[in-house]
Copies of this chain bind each other. A is one copy, B any other.
Amino acid sequence: MSAVSTESPLAAAILARLQEALGNRSAALHEPVFAGAEWSYLKECLDTTFVSSVGKFVDRFEADLAAFTGARHAVAVVNGTAALHVALLLAGVVPGDEVLVPTLTFVATANAVRYCGATPHFVDSDEGTLGMDPEALRIWLDAVTERRSGVCINRRTGRPIRALLPMHTFGHPCELDGLLAIAKDFGLVLVEDAAESIGSYYGSRHTGTFGRLATLSFNGNKTITTGGGGAIITSDTDLARRAKHLTTTAKVPHRWEYVHDEVGFNYRLPNINAALGCAQLEQLAGFLNSKRRLFERYAAAFRDLPSVRLMSEPEGCTSNYWLQTLVLDEAVAGERDTVLATTNAAGVMTRPAWGLMHRLAPYLDCPRAPTPVADSLERRIVNIPSSAGLA
């Protein structure tokens, strides 16, 4: 480790408040809780030998996800990245297209665009939601795009902009009304990256039910986990059918023949992972309550600390509080690394935001809007312990 001063009063104040809220325990950033039927469902998989692509838990997990989110269909897949890849293909993204992506996101959002042979076009975030800023985006698209035969074209690159891929950062819904209006006005397909937002609602509707398609993630660090896993959700029955086909090697149903009618993917979720998901989903309401209680404890601890804002759910929204987040004021952004070093050294795990996509080596040459807010947020975000088990 590089030498980091621990003399920062801000770092000491943050650590003291975290320890107060956490009852002086050491704490990971996010650990899953297995307090339900995980054990019995896994045992059922072993006892029946149905651990792989055959078995009842995949069907049940998909039905349960649809019921929980209110999307008509869910297709379980091997992880959130695979879900993004196929959702973008089904949104009509083809090689040579561009897709609007927040520069403040996990790398999977941008990678999935690349897997389609398309180019991510990075845009700015909003200070309040940490997600795509529709006002800045509209100004940018007005400036750089034109419609040709109904298609939104980036005049600078000559490429079609096919889709809009906002992400609900740390579980906080982004401004979907504004983004839906942009999708409509510019002829873009809205695909929601809801990897982090199961249990988060924009108004009374679950995130992921606003776009034509959306994606979920059940990685080990998420609100519920399948070990590794994800899902595509949509209320379009034809897209759901296509999603299932493409993610299961595009095999044509037959009692014994092996015929595949297009280039498909081996993205199906194994039954054993779906079994874990079914058990986790049964506990989701409790996890969400716990995470909200933890937020309230943090809110009490941090209420009197100037220059630090604890992220709370945007107005009119219900957040799942997947990752609790401190946002430092710009004036103290220079102390972020000291905050990280001090807290991690004390056994209270904290993390900064992801490196912005437009500064990663593989994406240096991609088109982008001005990103002053994301540039600033990246220097100021500190995620703090967030497990449901801490409440």
Would A260 and B34 count as touching, CB distance under 8 A? no
- A340 contact set on B, CB distance < 8 A: 256
Would A49 and B34 count as touching, CB distance under 8 A? yes
Additional 8 contacts, C-beta under 8 A, given A51-B227, A79-B266, A258-B354: A32-B49, A34-B46, A50-B220, A54-B220, A78-B78, A255-B344, A257-B355, A258-B353
- A228 contact set on B, CB distance < 8 A: 52-53, 78, 266, 268-270, 273
- A272 contact set on B, CB distance < 8 A: 227, 272-273, 276
| A78 CA / B82 CA spacing, docked (Å) | 11
Can you list, as one digit per residue, whether each of A21-48 has a CB less than 8 Å from chain B (1) or not (0)?
A: 0000000000111100011001100100
- A219 contact set on B, CB distance < 8 A: 52-53
Shortest 6 CB-CB contacts between residues of A and residues of B: A52-B220, A227-B270, A81-B266, A228-B270, A227-B272, A258-B354
Query: With A219-B52, A351-B256 in contact, is A362–B227 under 8 Å at CB?
Result: no
Among A85-129, those with CB < 8 Å from B are: 106-108, 111, 114, 117
Q: Which of B78, B111, B344 contacts A263 (CB 8 A)?
A: B111
A249 within 8 A of B: yes
| A31 CA / B269 CA spacing, docked (Å) | 18
| A225 CA / B51 CA spacing, docked (Å) | 8
Main secondary structure of the interface of A (DSSP, over half): loop
A352 within 8 A of B: yes
Q: Which of B46, B49, B52, B362 contacts A42 (CB 8 A)?
A: B46
- A106 contact set on B, CB distance < 8 A: 258
| A221 CA / B250 CA spacing, docked (Å) | 18
Residue of B whose beta carbon sits closest to that of A84: B266
Residue of B whose beta carbon sits closest to that of A111: B263
- A226 contact set on B, CB distance < 8 A: 270
- A114 contact set on B, CB distance < 8 A: 263
| A269 CA / B272 CA spacing, docked (Å) | 13
- A263 contact set on B, CB distance < 8 A: 111, 114, 362
A154 within 8 A of B: no
- A80 contact set on B, CB distance < 8 A: 266
Query: With A228-B52, A265-B81, A266-B108 in contact, is A355–B258 under 8 Å at CB?
Result: yes
- A352 contact set on B, CB distance < 8 A: 256-258
25 contacts between A and B (CB under 8 A): A1-B255, A32-B49, A32-B52, A52-B220, A52-B225, A52-B228, A81-B266, A82-B266, A106-B258, A107-B250, A107-B251, A107-B264, A111-B266, A220-B271, A255-B344, A256-B344, A256-B350, A256-B351, A256-B352, A257-B355, A258-B355, A260-B362, A261-B360, A263-B362, A272-B272
